[in-house]
Amino acid sequence: MAEGQAPLKVAWVKEGRLLSQGEALDARLGGLLRRALEGVSLKEGESLLVAAPEGQVLLFGLGEDARSSGGRLAQALLRLRFPEALVEPLEDAYTLAEGLLLGAYRFQRHKSEKEEKALTLRLPGVTEGVLERARKVAEGVYLARDLVNEPPNLLTPEALAERALELRALGVEVEVLDEEAIASLGMGAFLAVAQGSENPPRFIRLRYAPPGARARLDLVGKGLTFDSGGYSLKPTESMTTMKGDMAGAAAVLGAMKSAALLGLPVEIRGYIAACENMISGRAYRVGDVLKTFSGKTVEVMNTDAEGRLTLADALFYAEREGAERILELSTLTGAAVVALGEEVAALFATELAWGSLVQEAAHRAGEKVWPMPLEKAYREKLKSPVADLKNVGDRNGGAITAALFLSEFVRVPLAHLDIAGPAFAKKGHPLGPEGGTGFGVRTILEVAQAL
């Protein structure tokens, strides 16, 4: 830091004190930085720009979370418009690098005037391997965010499948089943949800299988590219973020990309039932009885509880393909948001050890999840007088009954992440702007590495 050359140098400040490299830089500057800090208290994300003989020095408030502080710093540097900056590394250099990359994300594809500007960040003393790993993880998160942020008239089920096919360039096997193939398999629940839309459904299978893989992980992601609620129509304000109802699928695709880039020694398979939930003369109705891929029948009591129907067929398919354990991600219920707010995902697991592994992986990834009970007594709420199951219970414990519904279609250990809260940010946050967050990508990667 002291000897490097750059138009801007960034020194961290924590509890009013410079860190080691900042102190070395300050010694070179004759105490200039300490004098600037006198009487100033910088909280996380707050900054002070100091003119020095060799260029500018940005004193930046460091918080407890290096990833969050890195994201805030990236956003501040983009506003300052310096072409290059030398950033003081932290002890956890990887987490800082990841935060810098995630915080710098922007989605401007559809703006006529783009604010594109190059910014080069250098972390002295940090190995290229650490930086490369952070870049490859960020690429997967960026893909997931891009997919969620795409408008629904452009990201149809077919378009989502086309984006999945792009992963073939990285060595990922991708197969896309059309409506006829889906029907021939007997995915009656998935097709019922899809039948109201002019845009046909697609079932996407992915497989990343490096030589000598030490374990296998199967992923299922909810792929509703738009959800109107069907005849159980959502109010307008609830529909504004429904282009993001495929955030689970986006997380699966993003994780697949990063896993391939990283060369993780784990076989990863992914399954996405992609469709739209729309209203038309062909749309499914309240009171319909559907035959799922598993053979079980479901009475539809709410057409806005459509995600669990598509997932029922996708989960059974995954198990039929030999899944040993399944991690499923979906923006499934508003009840999970009521319970845990907009930053924490609800974690349900049919096996304690599998749920604990996912929870610990999410903690390492810096993604917030909280374990919730699969209360078996609530299974009574799903009983139907005319079918094996209803697709909803009453309004109490809605996230739990949704998870219980999913568990009916698999026998292998299942971890269900209800990411309805953290998948879409309604305002800017330390790791990015409003919109898709890419939640789940980093957790999936940590789960894979732990197997």
Q: Is 434 annotated as a binding residue?
A: no
* Cα 185-188-193 angle, rounded to 5 deg: 125
The answer to whether 187 and 291 have CB atoms below 8 angstroms apart is: no
In sequence order, what are the beta bridge partners of 429?
Answer: 432
Annotated catalytic residue within 28, 136, 216, 234: 234
- Give the 3-state secondary structure of residue 248: helix
DSSP per position, 388-408: SEES---STTHHHHHHHHHHT
* Lookup: tokens for 170: 């990285």
CA terminus-to-terminus distance, the chain: 38
- Give the 3-state secondary structure of residue 246: coil
Phi, psi of 152 (to 5 degrees): -70, -20
* Cα 53-59-63 angle, rounded to 5 deg: 165
User: Strands, E, within 303-381: which ranges?
Assistant: 326-330, 345-349, 369-371
Annotated catalytic residue within 145, 308, 381, 442: 308
Q: Is 65 annotated as a binding residue?
A: no
Closest CA relative to residue 362, chosen from 267, 261, 251, 270? 251
Q: Is 313 annotated as a binding residue?
A: no
Q: Is 3 annotated as a binding residue?
A: no
Q: Which residue has the tokens 């069907």?
A: 230
Phi, psi of 13 (to 5 degrees): -130, 125
Instruction: For CA atoms 420, 423, 428, 433, give the dihedral sign.
Output: negative
Residue 442 catalytic? no
Residue 136 catalytic? no
Q: Is 26 annotated as a binding residue?
A: no
- CA separation for the pair 215, 199 (Å, rounded): 37
In sequence order, what are the beta bridge partners of 277?
Answer: 227
* Lookup: tokens for 106: 């922007």
Helix crossing, 398-407 with 307-320: angle to 10°? 30
- CA separation for the pair 189, 390 (Å, rounded): 12
In sequence order, what are the beta bridge partners of 50?
Answer: 57
* Lookup: tokens for 166: 């792009």
The answer to whether 378 and 401 have CB atoms below 8 angstroms apart is: yes
Q: What is the number of residues in the chain?
A: 451
Listed in sequence order, the DSSP H helices in 230-290 are 236-239, 247-262
User: Strands, E, within 17-171: which ranges?
Assistant: 17-18, 47-52, 55-61, 84-87, 120-122
Annotated binding-site positions: 222, 227, 245, 304, 306
* Catalytic site positions: 234, 308
Residues making up the annotated binding site for Mn(2+) are 222, 227, 245, 304, 306
